[in-house]
Amino acid sequence: MQRVRTATPTRGLTLIGLLSWAIVVGFAGYVLVHALPTVTEFYAIQRAVDRVAVGQSTTVAGIRAAFDKQKNVDQTISSISGSDLDITKQNDKVVISFAYEKEIELVGPVFLLLKYRGQSK
């Protein structure tokens, strides 16, 4: 009686597996490229709010005007203005907070909604 040898399973990446990973990585890169400018804008807003919070202005109107000046200097800020800031005082310290949403159109009717929120340090 002769023994029949079975083939050992091969390991590796098939063409379909490679294409599947390429699609997933490509889509993630596409989303990242479109979302990165909004993240950059958030950090620009955060820096502007921090600068205004330690500034000389103590009135709400003065703080909003100072933020609008910072916005004019830093051209990456377009999502909010001075009127969108929430200004409070905690322990004799000015605290400026903000929140906004950004929609990014991905493909056709598909959008990515990013919500940003921050406050002065």
pTM of the model: 0.79
What residue spans define the domains of the chain? 37-119
Give the Å distances, CA to CA, from 30 to 101, 103, 108: 20, 15, 14
| pLDDT tens figures, 40-75 | 999 999 999 999 988 877 789 999 999 999 999 888
Burial code (b: 16+ CB inside 10 Å, e: under 16) for 101-113 equals ebeeeeeeeeeee
User: Quick one: tokens of 98?
Assistant: 């903000």
- Residue 42: per-residue pLDDT: 96
